[in-house]
Amino acid sequence: MNRITQLFETKKKDILSIYFCAGYPKVDSTAEVIRALEHNGVNMIEIGIPFSDPMADGVVIQNAATQALRNGMSLALLFDQLKDIRSDVVIPLLLMGYLNPVMQYGFENFCRSCRDCGIDGCIIPDLPFDDYLNDFKPIAERYGVKVIMLITPETSDKRIRFIDEHTDGFIYMVSSAATTGAQQSFDEQKQAYFRRINAMSLRNPRMVGFGISNRDTLRVACDNASGAIIGSKFVTLQGENPSPEAAIKQLLAGLSTSLF
């Protein structure tokens, strides 16, 4: 069974997923970051593929991607760093990145490398859903790679139901139409969006991402979905701490609730 599917079948609520950018702050830190996150109780990890034009990302992740590229990170190098990760890491791992580097690598090659490294899924924010259905889904399914789709407050109910019908794993529920970045709270408009999606009784579990950085935003996300995805806040702490272990411990201390 795919590890993503297994996670959501065994843990229905309060799932914590952490995003980091491969190659930041050091080019060779990928495996170290993954192991530190798992060791500290993180349930799922999104490994960012650095790209020169990350349109959906705020300044924190943009800067991390720029530094990672300067450090020499590439998709080929990332797969090389991940080749032995399943010797001791058991939680679900996803790659998150933009379509351009994936297409340069070749989508079937990408899926094959994911399978060979034990990567369970991918998130490609700028992959059009119609292209996914027609050209990408059969290849991804052949290699057992879950392609996770995003929805936003602007996504129509009809489109959301169509996505829910034709994907599995989970749905990435973007908290707002803005770029990634920490927020102190979710306003009433965002919470109304969460209630709207809850009322749809979708087949797939959902994870809320974008803007989660403290116990308040974490609590709202977990109250309205299976869990939360934290990216920018962790990436910021990576830059402020001497090790991934110290960064995740500081993050979890700041999130301190009955969840963890």
Q: Does the pLDDT of residue 53 top 80, yes or no? A: no
**Between 122 and 256, the higher pLDDT residue:** 122
Q: What pLDDT is attached to residue 230?
A: 96
State both tokens at 245.
């272990």
Residue with tokens 């709207």: 196
Q: Which helix (H) or strand (E) holds 218?
A: helix 215-223
Q: What pLDDT is attached to residue 179?
A: 47
- How far, in Å, CA of 224 to CA of 197, rounded? 9
- Positions of E strands within the chain: 15-21, 44-48, 93-96, 121-123, 146-148, 150-151, 171-174, 206-209, 227-230
Mean pLDDT (the chain) is 93
Helix 244-254 with 232-240: angle, nearest 10 deg: 130
Mean pLDDT check: name the lowest of 20-29, 210-219, 222-231.
210-219
The residue from 14, 38, 57, 168 that is catalytic is 57
The residue from 14, 38, 46, 168 that is catalytic is 46
Q: What pLDDT is attached to residue 237?
A: 97
- How far, in Å, CA of 4 to CA of 226, rounded? 12
Cα(first)–Cα(last) distance of the chain, in Å? 26
- How far, in Å, CA of 15 to CA of 38, rounded? 13
Strand partners, 174: 209
pLDDT band of residue 57 (cuts 50, 70, 90) is low
Return the amino acid letter for 209: G
Say if residues 176 and 139 touch (Cβ distance below 8 Å). no
- How far, in Å, CA of 83 to CA of 72, rounded? 18
Q: Annotated catalytic, 57?
A: yes
Longest dimension (CA), the chain: 47
Tell me how long the chain is: 260
175 φ, ψ to 5°? -70, -25
Per residue in 149-190, pLDDT (tens digit) is 999 999 999 999 999 999 999 999 998 755 444 455 577 888
Does pTM surpass 0.85? yes
Q: How many CB atoms lie within 10 A of CB 230?
A: 27
Q: Annotated catalytic, 168?
A: no
Region 142-146 average pLDDT: 98
Say if residues 83 and 30 touch (Cβ distance below 8 Å). no
Per residue in 240-251, pLDDT (tens digit) is 999 999 999 999
Q: What pLDDT is attached to residue 258?
A: 43
Q: Which helix (H) or strand (E) holds 11?
A: none
